[in-house]
């Protein structure tokens, strides 16, 4: 049984973005983010952890982001919340009724 999500719970306005990969003149991979839609979302922070990446300490926050059902939302897309980027790791329909989409997201901070 899934929990009920009220429309008022989705009070954060986020921008859904998709990556567009290309190669520059020197052969390096170039990733550009294209905005798909602005949607209302419920954002719940689940946990935080610290990692060392390339010798630097980095904070990773895990979030659950709930939006209205969209069939075109999946990893490796992301949500922008102001200047924060929430990278989608998985997206699923919690009750198989196509009412809501729950996305497990990671946010990286230096």
- Tell me the CATH architecture of domain 9-109: Beta Barrel (2.40)
State the pTM of this model.
0.87
From first to last of the 110 residues of the chain, give the pLDDT tens digit: 356 777 688 999 999 999 999 998 898 999 999 999 999 999 999 999 988 877 888 899 999 999 999 999 999 999 999 999 999 999 999 999 999 999 999 999 86
Measured between alpha carbons, how far is residue 98 from residues 22, 70, 94 in Å? 33, 8, 9
Beta bridge partners, 106, equal 62, 87
Locate the domains of the chain by residue range. Answer: 9-109
């Amino acid at each position: 049984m899934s929990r009920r999500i009220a429309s008022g719970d989705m009070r954060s306005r986020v921008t859904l973005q998709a990556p567009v990969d290309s190669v520059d003149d020197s052969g390096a991979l170039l990733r550009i983010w294209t905005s798909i839609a602005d949607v209302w979302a419920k954002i719940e922070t689940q946990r935080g952890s610290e990692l060392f990446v390339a010798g630097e300490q980095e904070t990773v926050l895990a979030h659950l982001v709930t939006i209205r059902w969209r069939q075109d939302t999946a990893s490796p897309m992301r949500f922008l919340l102001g200047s924060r980027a929430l990278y989608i790791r998985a997206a699923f329909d919690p009750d198989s009724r196509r009412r809501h989409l729950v996305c497990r997201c990671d946010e990286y901070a230096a």
